Amino acid sequence: MKKMNYQNVKGTKDYLPEEEIVRRRIQRELEDVFIQYGCKPLETPILNYTELLASKYGGGAEILEEMYTLSDRGGRDLALRYDLTIPFAKAAAMNPGIRLPFKRYEIGRVFRDGPIKTGRLREFTQCAVDIAGADSQLAEAELMVMALDAFQRIGLDITIQYNNRKLLSGMLQEFGVLEEKRNEAILVLDKLEKAGWQKVSEELAAKGIGYEAIQRIAGFISDKNIGKLAYYEEMEDKNVHLKEGLQELMELEGYLNYLNSSRKAVFNPFLARGLDIYTGTIYEIFLTDRSLASSIGSGGRYDNAIGGFIGSGKKVATVGISFGLDAIFTAVSQSLSWTERESTADYFIIPINTPKESLALAQYLREKGWRVELELGSRKISKALERANKENIRKVILLGEEEVSNNQYKVKDMETGEEAFEKYDFKKYV
């Protein structure tokens, strides 16, 4: 008989209780922030039509290479969602009665058959917020401030890098990149930090970008002044895309400066975000110390998706941000403040020849709102106490026949060693 392969599929992971407790805690912190910022919960299907996820309003060619596809009994072409953005845009398009601006949050599993590295799996959890119907950069500013707030609560020091796709497109126009090649060039430039200029320049040439344009891009990259928005002002009058992108960035910068957030949110002219969907401001979130190389969150404006799905072609101003729960877990696992085990119970009851009475006492305490764990095995008292210590359960009740006959139970504080008796009528069950 062939031995069954019971290992995890590559790129997936079991989170045992010790880890999952931390993940749930992170998720609660994020959800609390989302709710505080006025976001409403929404849940979308994991399973979608391939046509939807592969549309021109989706993530583009590179992400489609990582999409998991399948078919059902009816022969329909289906796919697992690779993010929460397109399913949200679909839901908004299907429900035109939604009152705008509409601000939602969703926490759910997504799937990508991509490369695996620290903090990046093939099945992972995204925590997303999207705002539909807000065309001001005020929406981007609020999402960035929300991210800074959320990660401060979690205890991670982050930096948000931001840019604008219109500004990028306008600059490529200035460099002589043909319109039909600009999106491809942006996707290649997105690899600049990871791959370096040599590989990026070779890929640009392979994409059909001319030698002169590549040289002008190289000159731009080496200029020390491109990190300041003032650098682009002298070019804005003759370039519509550049002008619009610059105006949006200046508006956003004004909000961030006013909120004293500009130190943690930094303009990066090289940031491109390798997805076709984005139409304006884009951003990525990194640990400030870069102890995790990949980003732990990202987002941007995508004004064409909802109108595209409706078929009207009308732009519906939409902006979103998402955080990778698994990447955040990897980051906080390195933090001393998160290494302490969080207890899953307030009381641990150890029966000493009192199984029925212990069960009744556990139920009584649960009805009062306490989290109670009951020793269900037959281990020795010393072993049971050892377990309570390992599980970081502070209060232990050793319930013997004498306590039952006296209608009381003894609570031991495992931290201080103090003991106290509490009254309880065991006879009412007789």
In the chain, the amino acid numbered 356 is K
Instruction: Identify the three-state secondary structure at position 267.
Output: strand
Identify which of 303, 298, 309, 252 has the alpha carbon closest to the alpha carbon of residue 134.
303
**Are β-strands 47-49 and 281-287 bridged in parallel, bridged antiparallel, or unpaired?**
unpaired
Residue 130 annotated as binding site: yes
**Residue 273 is assigned to a ligand binding site:** yes
- For residue 319, with 0-12 CB atoms within 10 Å meaning exposed, 13-18 middle and 19 or more buried, which class applies? buried
Q: What pairs with residue 410 in β-bridges?
A: 421
Please give the structure tokens belonging to residue 104: 């939602």
- Answer for the pair 89, 57: CB distance below 8 angstroms, yes or no: yes
Q: Is 425 annotated as a binding residue?
A: no
Q: Is 237 annotated as a binding residue?
A: no
Strands 347-351 and 372-374: parallel
> How many CB atoms neighbour CB 215 within 10 A?
13
Lookup: tokens for 189: 């430039």
CA distance 101 to 38: 11
The answer to whether 108 touches 125, Cβ cutoff 8 Å, is yes
- Convert 163-181 to b/e letters by CB count within 10 Å (16 or more is b): bbbbbbbbbbbbbebeeeb
138 has binding-site annotation: no
Is 104 annotated as a binding-site member? no
How many CB atoms lie under 10 A from the CB of residue 414? 15
The answer on whether 365 is annotated among ligand-binding residues is: no
- Binding-site residues: 83-85, 112, 126, 130, 273
- Binding-site residues for L-histidine: 83-85, 112, 126, 130, 273
